[in-house]
């Protein structure tokens, strides 16, 4: 899409920001639907609509450029954003079925290919470039569809993530998790890098962004598993170096200044980008029921951070004095470092990935014979007495121990979702467990020991 920016940026500069807002809204809606109503997500309907919308968006952009129509341009970039988000999410969830090393190599290959494609795009005509851009999304969909369908099928045949998260909280990331905050913060830096000193809306990129791809390949090919936080640390250092370079070297117009500033900012941002894809895919692999919601919400945080960062970059470009620019850059750098030293101080990408407990099939009430049922009931009575559970907590404990899920408990006891969630949280806290399976193990352990 960047190839179109110079052609409409002077005619409709606000179109880019509007399209970003539409992109965020689309991803948020996808995440909420995937969390609450996964069965309503119909790939057979959504994909044709998305591809048609995407293609129609490009047609409107071309009409807008031809007629110099502001309305057509804004509508075109919005339709293009809406259509592309679904395909991007499908590509993300397809990575969930790949083994760790294959996932890393796939991400590195995709980013490497994007760099290689910049070479022929610089020599072909504008019309041919548009046709190729439209075609690429169809190619991407064809490549990811078989794996994505498997994830969607699994997601639609299990309890919704919203309900399952009540009894399996350790398997689901809340939308306020530090992972998404980290994505938002780092993408602000990327958005700033894209727009800072851009020329006619075109980012001043360098090929140094290929550095993180080499690092990712090295990590993937090593025999021993490496921490994903290596990419996180490298990304943070490169971004800080880029911002410091702006502060120290601002005002210079030689190639050395541009290569240092843009090289560091883009290398750090691309390093975080590949880390983000790997982290979201790895988390989705450990709990495919929640994969689409995690991918969509992560991409929403990314797009919103990108929008905020780009806005700051444009403000910086508009400042008439170099002192104002340096002050703004210093402020952005301060907030970035402060966020990493405070809000994200204890955060770890690898720790987050490993902390998501793998989920097999949803727990259903298994057939229990009379003897086993009596034994479980006795075990529940022992647990309730030892851990001083309330009568209502004892009642819910018994249902959980027999494999019942949250929706069943809500219907059986005529309680609200939040009430059941609070009771289960209290039970887990008293027993010191983090999942329904751990609770069952505790009850069975008491049954055997007593």
Task: Please state the rounded mean pLDDT for residues 270-275.
Answer: 86
Cα 351 to Cα 227: distance, rounded to the nearest angstrom: 9
* 305 φ/ψ angles, rounded to the nearest 5 degrees: -65, -40
Model confidence band, residue 421 (pLDDT cutoffs 50, 70, 90):
very high
Cα 40 to Cα 158: distance, rounded to the nearest angstrom: 13
Model confidence band, residue 362 (pLDDT cutoffs 50, 70, 90):
very low
Cα 245 to Cα 260: distance, rounded to the nearest angstrom: 7
In angstroms, how far is CA 58 from the centroid of its own chain?
26
Task: Please state the rounded mean pLDDT for residues 373-389.
Answer: 86
Spell out the domains of the chain, with CATH numbers in brackets.
Answer: 5-355 (1.20.1250.20), 370-449 (1.10.10.10)
DSSP one-letter code for 124: S
Cα 141 to Cα 160: distance, rounded to the nearest angstrom: 25
Which residue is associated with the tokens 């059941």? 420
Task: Please state the rounded mean pLDDT for residues 180-190.
Answer: 91
Which pLDDT value is given to residue 121? 73
Flag whether pLDDT at 311 surpasses 90.
no
Which pLDDT value is given to residue 204? 54
Return mean pLDDT, the chain: 83
Flag whether pLDDT at 149 surpasses 80.
yes
Cα 193 to Cα 204: distance, rounded to the nearest angstrom: 8
Which residue is associated with the tokens 């982290």? 279
Residue 199, beta-bridge partner list: 202
Long-range contacts of 444-448 (CB under 8 A, 24+ apart): 444/376, 444/379, 445/379, 446/379, 446/382, 446/383, 446/386, 447/375, 447/376, 447/378, 447/379, 447/382
Flag whether pLDDT at 137 surpasses 60.
yes
DSSP string, 91-117: HHHHGGGS-HHHHHHHHHHHHHHHHHH
Which pLDDT value is given to residue 6? 46
Cα 24 to Cα 262: distance, rounded to the nearest angstrom: 26
Which pLDDT value is given to residue 364? 46
Q: What is the pTM of this model?
A: 0.86
Flag whether pLDDT at 34 surpasses 90.
yes
Count Cβ atoms within 10 A of the Cβ of residue 223 and give its class: 0-12 exposed, 13-18 middle, 19 or more buried.
exposed
* 312 φ/ψ angles, rounded to the nearest 5 degrees: -65, -40
Cα 400 to Cα 137: distance, rounded to the nearest angstrom: 45
């Amino acid at each position: 899409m960047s190839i179109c920016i110079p052609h409409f940026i002077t005619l409709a500069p606000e179109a880019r920001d509007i399209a970003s807002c539409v992109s965020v809204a689309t991803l948020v809606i996808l995440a909420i639907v995937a969390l609450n109503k996964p069965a309503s997500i119909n790939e057979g309907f959504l994909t044709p609509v998305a591809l048609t919308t995407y293609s129609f968006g490009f047609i409107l952009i071309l009409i807008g450029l031809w007629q110099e129509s502001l309305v057509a341009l804004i509508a075109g970039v919005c339709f293009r954003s809406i259509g592309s988000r679904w395909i991007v999410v499908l590509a993300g969830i397809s990575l969930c079925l790949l083994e760790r090393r294959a996932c890393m190599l796939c991400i590195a290959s995709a980013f490497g290919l994007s760099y290689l494609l910049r070479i022929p795009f610089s020599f072909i005509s504008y019309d041919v470039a548009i046709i190729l851009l439209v075609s690429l999304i169809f190619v991407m969909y064809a490549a990811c569809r078989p794996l994505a369908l498997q994830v969607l099928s699994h997601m639609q045949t299990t309890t919704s993530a919203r309900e399952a998260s009540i009894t399996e909280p350790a398997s689901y990331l809340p939308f306020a998790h530090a992972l998404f905050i980290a994505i938002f913060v780092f993408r602000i830096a990327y958005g700033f890098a894209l727009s800072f000193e851009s020329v006619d809306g075109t980012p001043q990129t360098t090929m140094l962004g290929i550095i993180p791809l080499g690092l990712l390949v090295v990590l993937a090919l090593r025999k021993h598993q490496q921490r994903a936080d290596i990419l996180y640390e490298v990304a943070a250092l490169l971004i800080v170096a880029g911002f410091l370079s702006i502060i120290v070297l601002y005002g210079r117009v030689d190639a050395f200044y541009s290569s240092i500033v843009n090289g560091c900012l883009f290398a750090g941002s691309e390093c975080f980008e590949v880390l983000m894809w790997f982290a979201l895919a790895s988390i989705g692999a450990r709990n495919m029921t929640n994969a689409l919601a995690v991918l969509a919400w992560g991409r929403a945080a990314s797009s919103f951070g990108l929008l905020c960062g780009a806005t700051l970059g444009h403000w910086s470009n508009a400042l008439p004095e170099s002192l104002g620019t340096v002050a703004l850059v210093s402020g952005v750098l301060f907030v970035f470092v402060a966020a990493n030293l405070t809000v994200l101080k204890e955060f770890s990408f690898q720790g987050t990935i490993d902390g998501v407990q793998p989920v097999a099939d949803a727990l259903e009430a298994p057939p229990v014979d009379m003897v086993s049922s009596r034994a479980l009931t006795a075990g529940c009575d022992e647990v309730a007495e030892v851990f001083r559970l309330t009568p209502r907590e004892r009642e819910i404990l018994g249902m959980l121990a027999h494999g019942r899920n949250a929706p069943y408990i809500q219907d059986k006891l005529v309680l609200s979702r939040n009430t059941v969630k609070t009771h289960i949280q209290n039970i887990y806290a008293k027993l010191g467990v983090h999942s329904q399976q751990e609770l069952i193990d505790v009850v069975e352990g008491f049954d055997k020991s007593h």
